[in-house]
Amino acid sequence: MGSKKKVLVTGAGGFIGHHLTKYLVARGYWVRGVDWKPPEYENSPAHEFALLDLRRWAECLQATRGIDHVYNLAANMGGIGFIESHKGEIMHDNVLINIHMLEAARLNGIARYLYTSSACIYPGYKQDSPDVKALKESDAYPADPEDGYGWEKLYSERQCRHYKEDYGLETRVVRFHNIFGPLGTYDGGREKSPAAICRKVAMAKDGDEIEVWGDGEQTRSYCFIDDCVEGIYRLMQSTFSDPLNLGSDRLVTINELVDIVAKVAGKRVRKRHDLTKPQGVRGRNSDNSLLRRVLGWEPPMTLESGLGETYHWIEGQLRERGLLRGAQRTASAAVA
Ligand code: NAD
């Protein structure tokens, strides 16, 4: 497309924001990246990268100045272990970020604004068995989202709608379902299940036991990062302003996820289920009917290929950090 439009990506120091920045730069956009930390694993390709705390009003005004389109990805977030134990902090930070970013976008005359919501807004009562029906966008109400993180997402989705209705701000709202891939956090407490499992398998010797949270029969669907940024971009180009799912609709159990990663790694691993660990809802899948209708597209990457890329990247990181000394060399060689 080669537009010279100026875009802002917030959360550009994070996983999806960094990939999105690369994608938009490659498409010819001028990109300002904003985060309160630089990207962890490689430099940002943004034309300008500003370290700002977007909980603060003045810094949101500064971030949105001279910009045409905003992709607002900044959020205090992490995997299930993190979001179940930091609810107050998450709601405090994310409400401030989103309420200030929308108002700053309005005052600075932003033409289009994308908000990144989550499958965590869907009600718990629709996700209480492993073979759940896939979640349609209209399933969001009556509301019973994930406590803390999910309530804030749902509130901010509504605020986008109100800014469109009240002020004519062109908002887009995407609900991600478990995005994974290289350059995602894989340790430290904020990692999500695919990255955590890749790390555990990479660090295991052939035949070792690895810890799995819950009984492993909880189900999810997983979407590869390249498909995620493509979907975000397509949604931003569309005229669709209601919330839209962006995810894969292939449902797998966590136990199956472990088996796929072990196969990629060429290792046999045994699972030790820890029933005391948080495991979130029992089952969650994305219904992609609306996605297909609105965008004429859906994520094409297979779970096996995506996990292959992710596993190799995490294994490489662990090796560079000298953390693979105890792990099975033959298994590493098998996947090289
Ligand atoms: P991430 O944690 O890697 O990125 C979020 C970034 O926001 C981080 O780099 C963080 O430093 C930054 N940030 C947090 N507070 C900030 C502040 N006060 N000021 C400036 N920057 C701040 O997460 P991600 O996976 O890249 O997620 C991006 C967006 O997508 C988030 O809004 C997240 O809630 C949403 N989302 C992600 C997933 C997923 O599976 N990754 C699923 C659903 C929704």
Distance 4 CA to ligand 1 centre (A): 26
CB 125 within 8 A of CB 103: no
Of residues 104 and 279, more confidence is placed in 104
Instruction: Tell me which residue has tokens 């956090």.
Output: 185
Instruction: Tell me which residue has tokens 């478990």.
Output: 178
Looking at the CA of residue 12, tell me the nearest atom of ligand 1. 9
Q: Distance from CA of residue 62 to its chain's centroid? A: 25
Distance 16 CA to ligand 1 centre (A): 7
Q: Which pLDDT value is given to residue 336?
A: 29
**Domains of the chain with bracketed CATH:** 2-179+223-246 (3.40.50.720), 181-221+250-282+302-320 (3.90.25.10)
Q: Which pLDDT value is given to residue 330?
A: 42
In the chain the first and final C-alpha atoms are separated, in Å, by 36
Q: Which pLDDT value is given to residue 1?
A: 45
3-class SS at 325? Answer: coil
Of 1-5, 200-204, 235-239, 271-275, the range with the lowest mean pLDDT is: 1-5
3-class SS at 207? Answer: coil
Distance 179 CA to ligand 1 centre (A): 11
pLDDT per position as a tens digit, 294-312: 999 999 999 999 999 999 9
327: closest CA among 204, 162, 197, 159?
204
Query: What amino acid is encoded at 243 in this protein?
Result: P
pLDDT surpasses 80 at 9: yes
- Is the shortest distance between the CB of 97 and ligand 1 below 6 Å? yes
Any idea which residues carry the catalytic annotation?
A: 149
Q: Which pLDDT value is given to residue 328?
A: 52
pLDDT per position as a tens digit, 156-215: 999 999 999 999 999 999 999 999 999 999 999 999 999 999 999 999 999 999 999 999
Q: Which pLDDT value is given to residue 4?
A: 82
CB 236 within 8 A of CB 71: yes
pLDDT surpasses 90 at 331: no
pLDDT surpasses 90 at 335: no
CB 301 within 8 A of CB 237: no
Q: Which helix (H) or strand (E) holds 210?
A: strand 209-213
| Residue 176 vs residues 242, 252, 323: alpha-carbon distances, Å | 14, 17, 31
Average pLDDT, the chain: 95
pLDDT per position as a tens digit, 219-265: 999 999 999 999 999 999 999 999 999 999 999 999 999 999 999 99
Q: What is the mean pLDDT of residues 121-138?
A: 95
- Angle of helix 87-107 relative to helix 149-167, nearest 10 degrees, comes to 20
- Is the shortest distance between the CB of 243 and ligand 1 below 6 Å? no
73 contact partners, CB below 8 Å, separation of at least 6 = 9, 10, 11, 12, 14, 16, 17, 20, 116
pLDDT per position as a tens digit, 65-92: 999 999 999 999 999 999 999 999 999 9
Distance 129 CA to ligand 1 centre (A): 28
- Is the shortest distance between the CB of 59 and ligand 1 below 6 Å? no
What's this model's pTM, rounded to 2 decimal places? 0.96
- Is the shortest distance between the CB of 30 and ligand 1 below 6 Å? no
- For a ligand 1 pocket test, name from 77, 187, 281 the mutation site with the most ligand atoms within 8 angstroms of its C-beta: 77
Contacts 24+ apart (CB under 8 A), 330-334: 330/206, 330/266, 331/205, 331/206, 331/265, 331/266, 331/267, 332/202, 334/265, 334/266
